[in-house]
A and B are shown apart, each in its own frame.
Chain A
Amino acid sequence: MTTTVNTNSLGDAETTPKDDPLEIAGGATAKYVDQRLGSNRFLGRNLGKVFPDHWSFMLGEIALYSFIVVLLTGTYLTLFYKPSMVEVLYDGSYVPLKGVMMSEAYASTLDISFEVRGGLLIRQMHHWSALIFVAAIAVHMFRVFFTGAFRKPREFNWIVGVALTALALGAGFTGYSLPDDLLSGTGLQIIRGILQSIPLVGTWAAFLVFGGEFPGTDIISRLYAAHILLIPGIILALITVHLMMVWTQKHTQFPGPGRTNDNVVGYPLLPVYMAKAGGFFFIVFGIIALIGGLVTVNPIWIFGPYTPDQVSAGTQPDWYIGWLDGALRLMPNIETVLFGFTISWNVLVPSVIIPGILFTGLALYPFLEAWATGDKREHNLLDRPRNAPVRTGIGVMAIVFYGILWIGGGNDIVATTFNMSINAISWTLRVLLIVAPPLAFIITKRICLGLQRKDRDKLLHGYESGRVLRLPHGEFIEVHQPLNYKELAVIQGKEDIAVLPAPEKADADGVKNKLYPIHNLQHKLSSFFLRDNVQKPSKAEIEAGQAHVAHTSELEAPLHDYEELDQDPVGHGGVLHHPGMAMTNQEQIDQRH
């Protein structure tokens, strides 16, 4: 097995595998392992596994690699960090805190930053990579959402992804709290307030979590256990499941030449994909290390140790919790007392109910959409976002909703930066939170439909070249050019799904359809999702259209001598091939012989 691989990657005439000692040792090792694990069966099938190539398929890789960096740097930090709230007198080299009483957790974080050589670098790498980890998850999730990659057969993997997102937020927040500085302690104070707002059990829950009254002396060590063992353990397990599912189901691909729902076109794992994915790991790692060295993150020494009676202006959580903080800020002040019991809607709604609804909706979305469209087919070819206008609209709506909450979470920074009134910003955002998302939905859907129409035009009338031609009899025409093979394939990759038919209230024999309301709802939803879609022209129409365009564009042929022939074959309106240029790799190889 090993030898086959090596001939591929090295294909070398001088050093054949047989006389290279390394190769011999490698072959022997592979055999040894295989006799015990049967590993060659797996390698033989999978070393050539094909992965499609597209930059947006690497977003999940960014998440994976930044998580590896988080694990590596985090392990290093555990060697120095002390998860203890015992008060100690600081006696390190940071003068502005010398002699101040602080928790051991904060003191040890200061020591990591100022006494341990390279400690600050590792701490900053840990924090930056955590920020990147959550960002990459979010962007990856949006990519999967907007391209419909969550559709059958990948619904389970979507749910695993949603769980990973929630866990990433938990991992981030527990880590943010560990240094026990003024910012993070204030964050915990807020968490206490949120816990207390939960009806019936909230007060006890807060006391159990904090080991008594806030702040107590237990919370840091408890968060530590969650942060370094519980949450990363589950994340690691779920990542494994996530990747195994991708592996078995094979990666989705965008429509394009040669790409169908039943194949996967790309590069083999060995060597190209391995080099690219492995190389990308080092690039992500490298960029995180550079940023960790060059840019400060969370300078805890400025904030000072946590004390429950101190606070700093501009107190905010890290970006990924910012939207929840924004929700807390924008929520109107409603509290009710029912039968003597207090329900703080002003805390409960933004910090428990809204995130609960959002995450549940997120997890269920694939099933809701499949049910609404009645689509039960397997999808390995991705949707272009324009071809699913309602889905794209929902996604943009969610982003706008999230974005407004995020701005709300930094409204004081916005106020001081742009000389605005905090009160005016809050009111504007409150209104926008209700008005902007639906507006975003409508606009996005319109744009998508416009793009669909444009695609249809392109199929029927070709590509507007922008070149105006004067015909011998004086008429001016704009030259339309046939689409190149790539664009043709991409646009033709659109799938049209029919709206589900309206159900009958009763069948021909007069038997009442008991499921009528449900089926009718499904019909309505399906209509909402699909009715505005622009139908793709038939194959014959496309061929006729393209042939016609090809004919008119020939009018321009006499001018071709003046044009540069060597253009990018995949570019718009470019010349597809040189005369005699290889059409496939096979031909290219044959030509070279």
Chain B
Amino acid sequence: MTEIDHTHEGHDDAHAPGSEVATKVGYSPVADIPHKPRVTDTDPKAARRAERQVAGMFTLSMIFVIAFVVAYVAIDKNAYVYIPVLGDVGASNVVLGFTFGAAVFLIGAGAIQWAKKLMPDVEVVQQRHDMASDKSDEEAAAANYERGKDESGFARYKIIRRSLLGAMALFPIPIIVVLRDLWITPPGENPAEILSTTPWEDGVMIIPDVGDQTGLSPETSRGIRPEDLPVGGLVSALPVDIGVIQEEEHNLNARGKASIILVRMDPSEIRSQQGEGWDYNGIVAFSKICTHVGCPIALYEQRTHHLLCPCHQSTFDLADSGDVVFGPAARRMPQLPIGVNAEGYLVAKAPFAEPVGPSFWERDRT
């Protein structure tokens, strides 16, 4: 509280020592600009009012901090409260944020009000100097450089100089080389091949994607019968062994490229396919991973047979070989040839004929 008393008495005096101000060491001269006194400069009442405002804000800030602590202890973290405009909101978050925010904001508002109303508002001047150094500094720097060059013999020892440059050029190499094992490459594998293979192969049963597949063994998994899928129907699907693969690999990589969608249309509506007879009675299977940058797509419009990517709006026509009809994707959606197995469930008839997902450099060489 003592500071507040000081400012009160201080504000009148802020300009008072006037002429001394300009002459004191460390003070900058007042700018020669017309200056209009503030209300707080001329009216002591206004000054006192400003003082009370500032002190009031600081005090209120303290109260809000106490309110914050009370709210932290008192409000249940799962309680909700209705607040007009905001709606039903988490009570704890709103009250904590409001009290903390208000407490901090008031410190700032108080400080600025103090500066604006009670600290001097006379502008002062300082001179600038060119950034370039004085001649003497420049000469000193040059002389020192020459001395260093001379004493080290940098110019004379040609071999030292060149070998040093060579050493400096080479020494970052280990730092880069050790980054190689950011991917510990399994023996005999390379990225292009990995990207080109999926778990799909001849006879792999297609099962609907129901989320977490862990614990689902191929035996317990429910397949899809062609008659289950009506015309206009859509199923997000996976290979039957996805649960096993996930448990073996401890990651979601297989899911990221094996995921497909099955749609059924009137066979007469299929204008073309990527392979002869790749459908099964109008049921076609396509990769779910966009060929643009890899978002999973299942925005299937059953009337137009268009498949739209929600990320960048590439649109594919599933009735026409999955060709691109709009958007930034350059390549058609890879189709999976399907048929039924002896039990009458839908299965893949062959692996994907091309890599699924976004393009890569070696894509068309694999």
Contact = CB atoms under 8 A, between A and B. Distances in A.
Contacts of B67: none
Given A50-B28, A276-B112, A293-B94, A311 B256 contact: no
Contact of B358 (A50, A311, A344): A344
Given A309-B296, A313-B310, A120 B126 contact: no
A88 to B, nearest CB: 12
B296 A310 contact: yes
A314 to B, nearest CB: 7
A215 B124 contact: no
Given A214-B256, A272-B120, A422-B313, A12 B9 contact: yes
Given A117-B77, A190-B295, A585-B30, A212 B128 contact: no
B33 A258 contact: yes
Interface string B1-44: 01000110110011111110110111110111111110000000
Contacts of A206: 191, 360
A12 B300 CA distance: 78
A197 interface: yes
B126 A263 contact: yes
Contacts of A334: 330
B266 interface: no
B328 A333 contact: yes
Nearest to B107: A282
Interface of A: 4, 8-15, 44-45, 47-50, 53, 85, 87, 93, 100-101, 114-115, 117-118, 120-121, 124-125, 153, 186, 189-190, 192-194, 196-204, 206-218, 222, 248-250, 257-258, 261-268, 271-272, 275-276, 278-294, 307-315, 325, 328-335, 337, 340-344, 346-347, 350, 378, 380, 411-412, 422-423, 426, 485, 569, 576-577, 581-586, 588-590, 592-593
Contact of A264 (B14, B24, B97, B126): B126
B131 A378 contact: yes
Contact of A50 (B125, B195, B326, B362): B125
Contacts of B32: 258, 584
Contacts of A193: 292-294, 357-358
A101 B212 contact: yes
For the complex of A and B, the 6 pairs showing the least CB-CB separation, nearest first, are A293-B97, A286-B105, A193-B293, A282-B108, A279-B111, A308-B256
Given A312-B310, A584-B35, A588-B15, A203 B255 contact: no
B297 A280 contact: no
B292 A346 contact: yes
B183 A208 contact: yes
B253 interface: yes
A193 B328 CA distance: 13
A582 B194 CA distance: 82
B107 A189 contact: no
Given A217-B250, A282-B104, A347-B292, A11 B115 contact: no
A103 B259 CA distance: 20
A290 B123 contact: no
A215 B119 CA distance: 58
Given A217-B251, A581-B34, A588-B37, 5 more contacts: A283-B112, A285-B104, A289-B105, A584-B30, A584-B32
A527 B101 CA distance: 53
A287 B105 contact: yes
B4 to A, nearest CB: 12
B251 A216 contact: yes
A532 to B, nearest CB: 31
Contacts of A48: 26-28, 124
B100 interface: yes
B194 A197 contact: no
B122 interface: yes
5 contacts: A196-B360, A285-B104, A289-B104, A333-B329, A380-B128
Nearest to A212: B183
B194 A4 contact: no
B3 to A, nearest CB: 8
B252 A590 contact: no
Contacts of A272: 115, 119-121
Interface residues of B, number: 121
B182 interface: yes
A541 B256 CA distance: 75
Nearest to B299: A313
A197 B81 CA distance: 49
B351 interface: no
Given A4-B24, A333-B330, A335-B330, A308 B101 contact: no
Given A50-B28, A337-B364, A344 B255 contact: no
B328 A101 contact: no
A218 B255 CA distance: 17
Contacts of A218: 182
Interface string B152-191: 0000000000000000000000000001101110000001
A590 B18 contact: yes
Nearest to B100: A289
A216 B253 contact: yes
Given A215-B251, A584-B35, A311 B295 contact: yes
Nearest to B111: A279
Interface stretch (B85-93, B223-231, B338-346): B85-93
A215 B254 CA distance: 9
Contact of B362 (A197, A216, A290, A341): A341
A294 B94 contact: yes
Contact of B101 (A209, A210, A289): A289
A119 B363 CA distance: 45
A79 B364 CA distance: 47
A332 B328 contact: yes
Contact of A215 (B14, B252, B360): B252
B327 interface: yes
B335 interface: no
A32 to B, nearest CB: 21
A451 to B, nearest CB: 25
B358 A283 contact: no
A248 B9 CA distance: 35
Contacts of B121: 267, 272
A392 B111 CA distance: 36
B324 interface: yes
A190 B293 contact: yes
B96 interface: yes
Interface in B240-298: 250-253, 255-257, 259, 288-289, 292-298
Nearest to A423: B326
A208 B93 contact: no
A346 B115 contact: no
A262 B77 contact: no
B291 to A, nearest CB: 9
A121 B297 contact: no
B78 interface: yes
Nearest to B24: A4
Contact of B19 (A200, A257, A267, A589): A589
Nearest to A328: B312
A438 B330 CA distance: 29
Contacts of B104: 282, 285-286, 289
B321 interface: no
Nearest to B99: A293
B304 interface: no
Chain A CB count within 10 A is highest, among B30, B86, B123, for B123
Contact of A315 (B15, B111, B195, B310): B310
A13 B9 contact: yes
B145 interface: no
B117 to A, nearest CB: 11
A125 to B, nearest CB: 8
Given A190-B311, A250-B126, A309-B238, A197 B15 contact: no
